């Protein structure tokens, strides 16, 4: 739609193939993400979700095909130039326990500063904005080791925000969080997407949760794109049977239309 209006997509993958040793992790994956979109990548274990995300983040070089960021080939750009536009949050990031939230977030300015440059006003402003978005102003001097799982994950999101990216890539950001913190984090992403216009691509394990928040879903199976569309089209019991090899029924919350997935009655 944006492309029709003359805007190139923010991110495009063209016929990606990624090999891990003898086998193909991605076979032929193409997708296009417009500025301001929120895409959830789902699929069974080993379907290539994380590999796709890592390839989009320039962490994995494709054997064939290309990733295009804002019209330029990702691998033709300098790593730091990419880092100023794309932030990647791995699944279980780890940092020294005595690092404070603020110290952690400052690393997000790394791509914007020289090795020895003193922090500029823009850096301080970015740190404050990131802290505010993540609701961490009051905890800024707390060491990571003293935080709850939800607070720590918000700190990592704040680190990504301090990078001031156009595109945020997250690998299963709700893993290891309890249900309350899972929704708190996804609500934060929703606000970032809606109010800040941040483009979000995330890998999600929980299909129902992904459907509840992301307006668009991409389902991978065996390294290929099986489905790409709005949750209502993607999350059906037939598709889930194909993807996960399990008999599942999809119920809809009458109020919100959000799907719930339960084992199908035999």
Partner 1 sequence: MAIAALRRRPPPAATIPLAALALLLAMTLAVALGSVRLGPVTVLDGLLDRGDPAARLIVWQLRLPRVLVAACVGANLALAGVLLQGITRNPLADPHVLGFSSGAGVAAIAMLLLAPGTPLAFVAPAAFAGSLASAAAVYALAWRGGISAVRFALAGVAVAAFGTALSTAVIASSDLFTQSALSFLAGGLFARDWGHVHQLWPYTLVAGGAALLTARWLNVFALGDDIARGFGVRVERARLALLALAALLTGSAVAVSGLLAFVGLVVPHAARLLAGNDHRTLLPLAALLGAALLVLADTFARVAFAPSEIPVGIVTAVIGAPAFLALLRTRA
Q: Kindly list the residues in this chain that would bind partner 1 in the complex (CB under 8 A).
A: 20-21, 54, 57-59, 78-84, 86-88, 90, 93-96, 98-100, 102-104, 106-108, 110-111, 115-116, 124, 127-128, 141, 163
260: Cα within 13 Å, side-chain hemisphere: 7
Terminal Cα-to-Cα distance of the chain (whole angstroms): 42
CB of 87 to partner 1, least distance (A): 7
Q: Dump strand ranges (E) for the chain.
A: 11-20, 23-33, 38-42, 64-69, 72-73, 86-89, 167-171, 199-203, 216-221, 224-229, 248-252, 259-263
CB of 44 to partner 1, least distance (A): 23
CB of 59 to partner 1, least distance (A): 5
Q: Between 76 and 260, name the residue whose CB sits nearer to partner 1.
A: 76
Q: Between 21 and 263, name the residue whose CB sits nearer to partner 1.
A: 21
Which of 226, 257, 255 is closest to 41 using CA atoms? 226
As a whole number of angstroms, the distance between CA 193 and CA 101 comes to 23
Q: Between 189 and 234, name the residue whose CB sits nearer to partner 1.
A: 189
CB of 163 to partner 1, least distance (A): 8
CB of 91 to partner 1, least distance (A): 9
Instruction: Quote the longest CA-to-CA distance of the chain.
Output: 65
Tokens of 168: 């945020």
Residue 210: strand, helix, or coil? helix
Tokens of 1: 């739609």
Q: Between 98 and 178, name the residue whose CB sits nearer to partner 1.
A: 98
Q: Between 87 and 211, name the residue whose CB sits nearer to partner 1.
A: 87
């Amino acid at each position: 739609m944006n492309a029709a209006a003359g805007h190139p997509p923010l991110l495009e993958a063209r016929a990606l193939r990624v090999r891990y040793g003898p086998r193909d992790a991605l076979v032929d994956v193409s997708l296009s993400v417009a500025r301001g979109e929120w895409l959830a990548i789902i699929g069974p274990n080993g379907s290539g979700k994380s590999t796709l995300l890592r390839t989009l983040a320039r962490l994995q070089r494709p054997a064939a095909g290309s990733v295009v960021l804002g019209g330029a080939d990702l691998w033709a750009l300098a790593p730091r130039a990419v880092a100023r536009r794309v932030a990647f949050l791995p699944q279980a990031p780890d940092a020294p326990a005595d690092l404070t939230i603020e110290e952690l977030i400052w690393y997000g300015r790394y791509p914007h500063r020289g090795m020895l440059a003193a922090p500029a006003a823009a850096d301080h402003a970015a740190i404050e904005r990131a802290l505010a978005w993540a609701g961490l102003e009051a905890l800024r001097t707390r060491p990571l080791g003293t935080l709850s799982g939800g607070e720590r994950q918000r700190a990592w999101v704040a680190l990504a925000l301090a990078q001031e990216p156009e595109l945020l890539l997250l690998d299963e950001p709700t893993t290891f969080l309890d249900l309350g913190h899972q929704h708190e984090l996804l609500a934060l992403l929703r606000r970032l997407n809606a109010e800040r216009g941040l483009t979000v691509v995330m890998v999600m394990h929980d299909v129902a949760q992904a459907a509840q928040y992301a307006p668009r879903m991409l389902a991978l199976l065996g390294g290929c794109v099986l489905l790409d569309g709005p949750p209502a089209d993607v999350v059906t019991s037939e598709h889930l049977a194909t993807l996960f090899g399990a008999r599942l029924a999809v119920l809809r919350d009458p109020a919100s239309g959000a799907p719930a997935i339960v084992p199908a009655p035999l």
